[in-house]
Chain A
Amino acid sequence: MLLDANALRPKTITFVASLDPRMKKILTLLFTVFITAHHLQAQSTIPRYGLSDERDIYYVFTHADIWQDPKTLLKNATLVIKNDKIISIGINLVIPKGAVVYDLKGKMIYPSFIDAFSTYGLPEIRKERPGNRSPQYDTRTNGAYSWNQALKPEFDASRNFNADAKKAVELRKLGFGLTLSLQDDGIARGTAVVVALGEGKENELLVKDKAAAIYSFNKGTSTQDYPASLMGSIALLRQTYCDAKWYQQSKNKNIDISLESWISNQELTQIFDVNDVWSGLRADKIAKEFNVNYVIKGSGDEYKRIDEIKKTGDAYIIPVNYPKTLDVSNPYDAIDISLAELKQWEEAPSNGSVLEKAGIKFAFTTYGLKDKKDFLKNIQKAILYGLSKEAALSALTQTPASILKISDRVGSLKPGMLACFFISNKDVFDKENIILEQWILGKRYADKEYDLTDVRGRYKLSLDTLKGWDINISGEALTPEWQLMHDSTKVKVNFDRDGQQFTLRFEVKKGAGNYRLNGVLDANDKLTIAGDGQTPDGRWIQWKAIYATVFTETKKDSLKKDTIPVIGKVWYPDMAYGNTELPQVKSVLIKNSTVWTNEKEGILTNTDVLISKGKIQQIGKNIDANTSKIAGLEIIDGTGMHLTAGIIDEHSHIAIAGDVNEGTAAITSEVRIGDVIDPEDVNIYRQLAGGVTTSHLLHGSANPIGGQTALIKLRWGKSAEAMKFEGADPFIKFALGENVKQSNWGDNFSVRYPQTRMGVEQTYIDAFTRAREYDQSIQKSLAAKDKSTTETPRRNLQMEALAEILNKKRFITCHSYQQGEINMLMHVADTFGFKVNTFTHILEGYKVADKMKAHGAGGSTFSDWWGYKYEVMEAIPYNGAIMNRMGIITAFNSDDAEMARRLNQEAAKAVKYGGVSEEEALKFVTLNPAKLLHIDKRVGSIAVGKDADIVIWNDNPLSVYAHPIKTFVDGICYYDFTNDQQKRLQNESERQRIIKAMISAKEYGAPVDKPSMKIHELQHCNNREESPY
Chain B
Amino acid sequence: MKKNILFAFTICCSLQIFAQNPIPAGKELKRVLLFGGMAHLGNGKVIETSAISLKDGKIVFVMDSRGFKPARDAYDTIIDLAGKHIYPGFIAMGTQIGLNEIELVRATNDFNETGQLNPSARAIIAYNTDSKVTPTVRTNGILTAQIAPLGGLLSGTSSVVSLDAWNWEDAAYKTDEGIWMNWPSMRIVRASWAGTEEEQQIRFEKSMKMLTQFFSDAKAYNDLGMPAIHNQHFESMKALFNGTKKLYVRVNLARDIIAAINFCKLNKVQMVLVGGEDSWRVTDILKANSISVIIMRTQALPLRDDDDVYASYKLPSVLKNAGIDFAITDDGYWKIRNLPFEAGMASGYGLSKEEALTAITLSPAKILGIDKTTGSLESGKDATLIVSTGDALDMRTNQIELAYILGKEIDLHNIQQQLYHKYMKKYGFE
Q: How far is the CB of B173 from chain A (nearest CB, A)?
A: 23
A869 with B105: CB separation less than 8 A: yes
Q: Is B308 an interface residue (CB 8 A)?
A: yes
Contact residue among A874, A885, A1015 (Cβ-Cβ distance under 8 Å from B191) = A1015
Contact residue among B133, B299, B420 (Cβ-Cβ distance under 8 Å from A867) = B133
Contact residue among B197, B308, B395 (Cβ-Cβ distance under 8 Å from A1010) = B197
**Known contacts A870-B105, A898-B301, A991-B306: A335-B396 contact under CB 8 Å:** no
**Known contacts A849-B427, A885-B429, A962-B348: A689-B189 contact under CB 8 Å:** no
For chain A, the count of residues having a C-beta within 8 Å of the partner chain is 72
B398 with A1016: CB separation less than 8 A: no
Q: Is B9 an interface residue (CB 8 A)?
A: no
Q: How far is the CA of A958 from the CA of B344 in the complex (A)?
A: 13
Q: How far is the CB of A318 from chain B (nearest CB, A)?
A: 23
Most chain B CB within 10 A, of A870, A960, A984, A1013, is at A960
B102 with A869: CB separation less than 8 A: yes
Question: Residues of A contacting B337 with CB < 8 Å?
Answer: 864
Most chain B CB within 10 A, of A339, A850, A877, is at A877
Q: Is B180 an interface residue (CB 8 A)?
A: no
Contact residue among B197, B255, B334 (Cβ-Cβ distance under 8 Å from A868) = B334
A686 with B301: CB separation less than 8 A: yes
In chain A between 843 and 870, which residues have their CB closer than 8 angstroms to a CB of chain B? 846-847, 849-850, 864, 866-870
B427 with A850: CB separation less than 8 A: yes
A1013 with B345: CB separation less than 8 A: no
Contact residue among A682, A849, A864 (Cβ-Cβ distance under 8 Å from B338) = A864
Q: How far is the CA of A849 from the CA of B419 in the complex (A)?
A: 14
Q: Is A576 an interface residue (CB 8 A)?
A: yes
B420 with A744: CB separation less than 8 A: no
Contact residue among B300, B304, B419 (Cβ-Cβ distance under 8 Å from A898) = B300
**Known contacts A912-B398, A961-B344: A1016-B423 contact under CB 8 Å:** no
B420 with A878: CB separation less than 8 A: yes
Q: Is B194 an interface residue (CB 8 A)?
A: yes
Contact residue among A339, A744, A873, A956 (Cβ-Cβ distance under 8 Å from B396) = A956
Chain B 328-341: CB-based contact to A (< 8 A → 1; otherwise 0): 00000110011001
Contact residue among B189, B348, B399 (Cβ-Cβ distance under 8 Å from A1015) = B189
Contact residue among A869, A878, A1013 (Cβ-Cβ distance under 8 Å from B188) = A1013
Task: Identify the closest chain A residue to B394 (Cβ).
Answer: A960
Chain A 722-760: CB-based contact to B (< 8 A → 1; otherwise 0): 000000000000000010000110000000000000000
For chain B, the count of residues having a C-beta within 8 Å of the partner chain is 55
A1017 with B305: CB separation less than 8 A: no
A909 with B395: CB separation less than 8 A: yes
Question: Residues of B contacting A897 with CB < 8 Å?
Answer: 301
In chain B between 44 and 103, which residues have their CB closer than 8 angstroms to a CB of chain A? 101-103
Q: How far is the CA of A918 from the CA of B349 in the complex (A)?
A: 23
Q: How far is the CA of A270 from the CA of B333 in the complex (A)?
A: 55
**Known contacts A870-B102, A959-B396: A577-B194 contact under CB 8 Å:** no
Q: How far is the CB of A786 from chain B (nearest CB, A)?
A: 54
Q: Is B416 an interface residue (CB 8 A)?
A: yes
Q: Is B265 an interface residue (CB 8 A)?
A: no
Q: How far is the CA of A876 from the CA of B306 in the complex (A)?
A: 37
Q: How far is the CB of A820 from chain B (nearest CB, A)?
A: 15
Q: Is B367 an interface residue (CB 8 A)?
A: no
A869 with B394: CB separation less than 8 A: no
Question: Residues of B contacting A849 with CB < 8 Å?
Answer: 423, 427
Q: How far is the CA of A333 from the CA of B188 in the complex (A)?
A: 10
Q: Is A396 an interface residue (CB 8 A)?
A: no
Q: Is B318 an interface residue (CB 8 A)?
A: no
Task: Identify the closest chain B residue to A850 (Cβ).
Answer: B427
Q: How far is the CB of B205 from chain A (nearest CB, A)?
A: 15
Q: How far is the CB of B148 from chain A (nearest CB, A)?
A: 18
Q: Is B424 an interface residue (CB 8 A)?
A: yes
A869 with B190: CB separation less than 8 A: no
**Known contacts A847-B423, A1014-B189: A340-B394 contact under CB 8 Å:** no
Interface contacts (Cβ under 8 Å), in number, total 160
Q: How far is the CA of A335 from the CA of B305 in the complex (A)?
A: 10
Task: Identify the closest chain B residue to A910 (Cβ).
Answer: B395
In chain A between 938 and 958, which residues have their CB closer than 8 angstroms to a CB of chain B? 955-956, 958
Question: Residues of A contacting B305 with CB < 8 Å?
Answer: 338-340, 575-576, 682, 1016
A878 with B416: CB separation less than 8 A: yes
B102 with A1015: CB separation less than 8 A: no
Q: How far is the CA of A333 from the CA of B395 in the complex (A)?
A: 39
Most chain A CB within 10 A, of B105, B189, B193, B309, is at B309
In chain A between 868 and 920, which residues have their CB closer than 8 angstroms to a CB of chain B? 868-870, 873-874, 876-878, 882, 885-886, 897-899, 902, 905, 908-909, 911-914, 918
Question: Residues of A contacting B101 with CB < 8 Å?
Answer: 867
A576 with B395: CB separation less than 8 A: no
Task: Identify the closest chain B residue to A906 (Cβ).
Answer: B395
Grouping DSSP codes into helix (H, G, I), strand (E, B) and loop, the A interface class, with mixed when no group exceeds half, is loop
Q: How far is the CB of A10 from chain B (nearest CB, A)?
A: 51
Q: Is A332 an interface residue (CB 8 A)?
A: yes
Task: Identify the closest chain A residue to B340 (Cβ).
Answer: A960
Chain B 192-226: CB-based contact to A (< 8 A → 1; otherwise 0): 11100100000000000000000000000000000
Q: How far is the CA of A1018 from the CA of B253 in the complex (A)?
A: 18
Q: Is B372 an interface residue (CB 8 A)?
A: no
Question: Residues of B contacting A914 with CB < 8 Å?
Answer: 420
Q: Is A432 an interface residue (CB 8 A)?
A: no
Q: Is B310 an interface residue (CB 8 A)?
A: yes
Chain B 242-255: CB-based contact to A (< 8 A → 1; otherwise 0): 00000000000111
Contact residue among B187, B344, B397, B420 (Cβ-Cβ distance under 8 Å from A882) = B420
Q: Is A987 an interface residue (CB 8 A)?
A: yes
Q: Is A210 an interface residue (CB 8 A)?
A: no
Q: How far is the CB of B284 from chain A (nearest CB, A)?
A: 14
Q: How far is the CA of A850 from the CA of B429 in the complex (A)?
A: 13
Q: Is B104 an interface residue (CB 8 A)?
A: yes
**Known contacts A340-B305, A867-B334: A908-B192 contact under CB 8 Å:** no
**Known contacts A909-B395, A959-B396, A1014-B189: A338-B304 contact under CB 8 Å:** yes
Q: How far is the CB of A847 from chain B (nearest CB, A)?
A: 6
Chain A 562-583: CB-based contact to B (< 8 A → 1; otherwise 0): 0000000000000111000000
Most chain A CB within 10 A, of B192, B306, B423, is at B306
Q: Is A789 an interface residue (CB 8 A)?
A: no
Q: Is A45 an interface residue (CB 8 A)?
A: no
B334 with A866: CB separation less than 8 A: yes
Question: Residues of A contacting B144 with CB < 8 Å?
Answer: none
Question: Residues of B contacting A963 with CB < 8 Å?
Answer: 310, 348-349
A867 with B189: CB separation less than 8 A: no
In chain B between 296 and 355, which residues have their CB closer than 8 angstroms to a CB of chain A? 299-302, 304-306, 308-310, 333-334, 337-338, 341, 344-345, 347-349
Q: How far is the CA of A984 from the CA of B304 in the complex (A)?
A: 13
Q: Is A1022 an interface residue (CB 8 A)?
A: yes
A1012 with B306: CB separation less than 8 A: no
Q: Is A422 an interface residue (CB 8 A)?
A: no
**Known contacts A869-B103, A961-B348: A336-B187 contact under CB 8 Å:** yes
Question: Residues of B contacting A522 with CB < 8 Å?
Answer: none
In chain A between 102 and 132, which residues have their CB closer than 8 angstroms to a CB of chain B? none
15 contacts between A and B (CB under 8 A): A335-B306, A340-B305, A683-B301, A738-B104, A878-B416, A898-B299, A912-B397, A918-B396, A960-B344, A960-B348, A963-B349, A1013-B187, A1015-B190, A1016-B305, A1022-B192
Binding site for A on B (CB under 8 A): 101-105, 132-133, 187-194, 197, 253-255, 281, 299-302, 304-306, 308-310, 333-334, 337-338, 341, 344-345, 347-349, 393-399, 416-417, 419-420, 423-424, 427, 429
